[in-house]
A = this chain, B = another copy of it.
Amino acid sequence: MKISTRARYGTRALLDLALHQAEAPVSLKDIAKRQEISLQYLEHLVTPLITAGMVRSVRGPKGGITLAKSPAKITMSEIIQLLEGSTALVECVDNPKLCPRADSCVTRDIWTEVKDAVNGVLDSTTLQNLIEREEKKRKTPKQEMYYI
């Protein structure tokens, strides 16, 4: 029940991109270096993001990638959808026809609730949110608790 490194790396890469993009595109090389991801693997992660129109790419020297939309308009839900597929933990949640029991299966109902719960979190989290959390963490790093 783990998420693929594909989705993990991809999310981190996008956040890295969001944090570093100004005018110029950000090179995959730089992202790979900062995020400690193999460049060649990162290239493959980025492909579906470009295809989906979430990211734009520029070839050649000084090339790289940029976000095609504002970070506030990119949800983790979309990212995970592109890199991992559905968040359903069980196939039959998305495809009732896969199982003859689907209609009457109460455990399937629970798996559906779980999917909705997961999506609830991912839908409401945008890249912008992540950026803000990042900034907040840098301001108050490792806050200790003091009891009087």
Contacts and interface: CB of A to CB of B under 8 A. Distances in A.
Interface in A44-92: 76, 84-85, 87-91
Contacts of A4: 1
Contact of A3 (B12, B90, B104, B122): B90
Number of copies: 2
Contacts of A84: 1
22 contacts: A1-B4, A1-B84, A1-B85, A2-B88, A2-B89, A3-B111, A8-B107, A12-B107, A15-B106, A76-B110, A103-B142, A104-B137, A104-B141, A106-B137, A107-B130, A109-B133, A110-B130, A113-B125, A114-B118, A114-B122, A117-B118, A117-B121
